[in-house]
Structure 1
Amino acid sequence: MPKKLVIIDTDCGIDDAQAIMMALAAPNVEFLAVTCVFGNAAVEDVCQNVLRVLSVCERQGIPVFRGSAGPLVAASTSFSDHFGGDGLGDVIEDKDPLWKEKLQQEHAVSAMIRLVSEHEKQVSLVALGPLTNLALAVRLDPCFPQKLRDLYIMGGNKEGIGNVTLCAEFNFAMDPESAYIVLEEFLCPTYIASWEYSCRNALSWEFFEELLSQDAAAARFMKTITSKCWAYSKEAMRNKRDIYFGPGFVPYDAYAMAACIDGSMVLESIECPVRVELQGSIARGMMALDRTNQLKKSHSAFVLTKCDVAKFGRLVMESLRQPCRK
């Protein structure tokens, strides 16, 4: 079986690190590149985080590209402290002073366009952060989306329940205009792992403890970066996510990555047009599902709803048994 060619576009926080490790552990994935975007942290921190994850897994040969430092339209944005100020829990002290030299010189958007053009209809693009790099790619090359094999997005919400504003999910809220552009102009098969999808297919906290107890470098790394992070605290989540969905361990970005690796992971989805709301103080950044065709759009997306949680858990567990050499 030929390997699936994958580019991951990421704002590398702790859950992105989990998703990247999942792709690294998958025998059917060939990693073309990691492109970085602002989001969970400043893009400079994101780049360092990606390099750190690749180093832990002994996969430093995968090229890493620096991309957008801010949203498409807004002048500036504040970064989330969900995973700490640096995106990886603020526990890493031995920063690499040579990290800039390990990045590719080409801009992430340019690299994305080039790689997809070189492997037309073969590349699966997995977007784990704000969609700024993707929006810029279609502006620079309007044919970019049709050259993709498919697109997997972690982001958006389908019920008006937000995690950063009252009604919007973080990745879309950080750059609503880019999310709007991508969902309007990317006509390739598009699969959306929304916030609700992740939360409604949670793993148990007992699973999380077992996950981190594995005797492998990746597991030890994950244990370190989650050790002081409130987002991985059962107590903190009782006043946050648990109010809507009940208790559980939710590695958000890993759900989109798992769907890319193994389509049978997704048991149910809704196929319909979607649109991102750009107006309003409450609903800006929210994703709306058009199940009655009121928007008269020409294309639909697959909004994932039900996951094979047992199979997903096995992929997550395997992802921290690294380094593993292919």
Structure 2
Amino acid sequence: MSTPQGKKKVIIDVDTGVDDAQAIMMALAAPNLDILAITCTHGNTSLDNACKNTLRVLKTCNREDIDVHRGCHEPMLRLTRRAGDFHGKDGLGDSPDPDAPGLDKLHKRRAVQTLIRTVKENPGEVTVVATGPLTNLACAAIQDQHFPKKLKALYIMGGNTESRGNTTACGEFNFVADPEAAYIVLDRFTCPIYITTWEFTCRNSLPWSFCDEWLAQDTHKARFMKKIYQHTMKMAKSSTYQKEVVEGPGFNTCDCYAMAAAIDESLVLETDEVAVTVELQGKYTRGMMVLDYIEVLKKERKAIILKKVDLVKFKQLLMNALK
């Protein structure tokens, strides 16, 4: 199937918890995106749950025409991490749906092979939006050395700029969940890499009053989101979580910032370009993103770190997602 002229070819790589669901729904509502596939990975919840959750979101949005592919079920090295306390054990707020699609609805081709094949067939045309640990992308780069060179762009939600962690003292969840994968992706990919970090999303969080307005829309999608978001909202409003937020409590849908930037480039108002890597050895800093402003790393390629976005446009994309 050919992509309509003027549309961006996109693959979404997710570990579908509540915020990934929000980002997927934002992408589905964007008329300028042609979603070629959704690839799933471990992270917020188990791989099976991430796959089931993705299928459930697509059914809710009446977009079961989009193929979903099973990816990596664990990080490249060391222990698996989960975010069950925040997103619920199942990743979608522990609000099961007995009529949700089963794993038999998954495409038979695995995620890594899908990434390699799709990009090979569309060199220089495919943008990947990655909102979970980067294991699938790293494995694709290892299996096909040409893969990182053929992407049009990569948008990542992950990492941090000031060593403020939300999982470890200095680490953001997606990078901490697979530091080696994050290291490989930031080291080998030659396409433009746009990164929305933990601190950035915190500083651009929205008032809870907007969240109430967002969820109050009289649509099936809004009722679905309100149901799966109850657990996460309770956690996000707790005093413990609020202490982690860099500049005050608020509605922070982390993954949607990366998706919004991929949908509408004009939404990005300010960026910083700097060479980056990931710490792999530190006792307290393993998984932390390192920014090399004094060019010790001697890297020619710089990452594009988002600093400021148009929140009016961002809010509109969120509202559109649940219409």
Normalising TM by the smaller chain, what interval? over 0.9
The 3 A distance-change label for structure 1 pair 54 and 154 is same
Change (3 A) 1:135 1:21: same
Matches within 5 A, 1:302-317: 302-317=304-319
Instruction: Give the whole-Å Cα distance in 2 for the aligned partners of 1:284 and 1:95.
Output: 41
| SS of residue in 2 equivalent to 1:30 | strand
Measured against aligned partners, the alpha-carbon deviations of 1:85-119 in whole angstroms (never above 9, x if no partner) come to 010000114164x6121001111000111011111
Which residue of 2 is the match for residue 254 of structure 1?
256
Whichever residue aligns with residue 206 of structure 1, its letter is S
Q: TM-score, normalised by structure 1?
A: 0.95
Give the equivalent residue in structure 2 for 1:110. 113
Which residue type is aligned with residue 21 of structure 2? Answer: A
User: Aligned pair 1:140/2:140, yes or no?
Assistant: no
Could you give the per-residue CA deviations for residues 108-143 of structure 1, whole angstroms, max 9, x where no partner exists?
A: 000111011111111000010000000000000001
Tell me, yes or no, if the aligned pair for 1:230 and 1:236 is still in contact at 8 Å. Answer: no
CA contact (8 A) 2:45 2:83 kept: yes
Aligned position for 1:27: 31
Pick from 2, 8, 17 the counterpart of residue 4 of structure 1: 8
Secondary structure (helix, strand or coil) at the match of 1:88 reads: coil
Q: CA deviation at 1:237?
A: 5.7
**Offset, 1:247:** 1.6
Q: Distance in 1 between matches of 2:75 and 2:99?
A: 26
| Residue 251 to residue 232, structure 1, CA distance change in 2 (3 Å) | farther
Contiguous gaps of at least 5 residues in structure 2? none
| 3-state SS of 2:124 partner | coil
- Paired position in structure 2 for 1:228: 231
CA distance, structure 1, for counterparts of residue 240 and residue 258 of structure 2:
22
Cα contact 1:88–1:225 (8 A) shared by 2: yes
User: Percent identity, aligned pairs only?
Assistant: 51
* Match 1:44 to one of 41, 44, 48: 48
Post-superposition Cα deviations, 1:265-288, rounded to whole Å, max 9, x if no partner, equal 111111010010001121000001
Q: Distance in 2 between matches of 1:286 and 1:90?
A: 30
Retained in 2: the 8 A contact 1:231–1:237? no
Q: CA deviation at 1:239?
A: 4.1
Distance of aligned partners of 1:12 and 1:269 in 2 relative to their CA distance in 1, 3 Å threshold: same
- Does residue 60 (structure 1) correspond to residue 97 (structure 2)? The answer is no
The CA distance in 2 between the partners of 1:262 and 1:222, in whole Å, is 23
Shift of 1:197: 1.1
Give the structure 2 partner of residue 324 of structure 1.
Answer: none
One-letter identity of the residue aligned with 2:219: A
After superposition, residues 200-279 of structure 1 pair within 5 angstroms as 200-229=203-232, 233-236=236-239, 239-242=242-245, 244-279=246-281
SS at match of 1:227: helix
TM-score when normalising by structure 2: 0.96
What is the RMSD computed on CA atoms of the aligned residues? 1.3
Give the secondary-structure state (helix, strand or coil) at the position aligned to 2:10: strand
Change over 3 Å in CA distance of 1:232–1:204 after alignment to 2? farther
The corresponding residue for 1:299 is 301
Deviations 1:242-263 (A, max 9, x none): 4x32021010000000000001
Shift of residue 73 of structure 1?
1.5
Which residue identity does 2:174 align to in structure 1?
N
User: Letter of the aligned partner of 1:248 in structure 2?
Assistant: G
For 2:196 and 2:147, locate their aligned partners in 1 and report how far apart those are by CA, in whole Å: 22
Distance 1:136 1:200 in 2: 32
Distance verdict in 2 for CA 1:179–1:237, change over 3 Å: same
Question: Is residue 83–residue 231 contact of structure 1 (8 Å, CA) maintained in 2?
Answer: no
Structure 1, gaps ≥5 residues long: 322-326
Distance 1:269 1:292 in 2: 18
User: 2: distance between equivalents of 1:169 and 1:149?
Assistant: 26
Following the alignment from structure 1 to structure 2, what is the Cα–Cα distance between the partners of residues 112 and 197?
28
Between the aligned partners of 2:309 and 2:6, the Cα distance in structure 1 is 25
Partner of 2:20: 16
Distance (Å, rounded) in 2 between the aligned partners of 1:320 and 1:279: 42
Aligned residues: 318
Distance 2:140 2:243 in 1: 35
Corresponding letter in the other structure for 1:313:
K
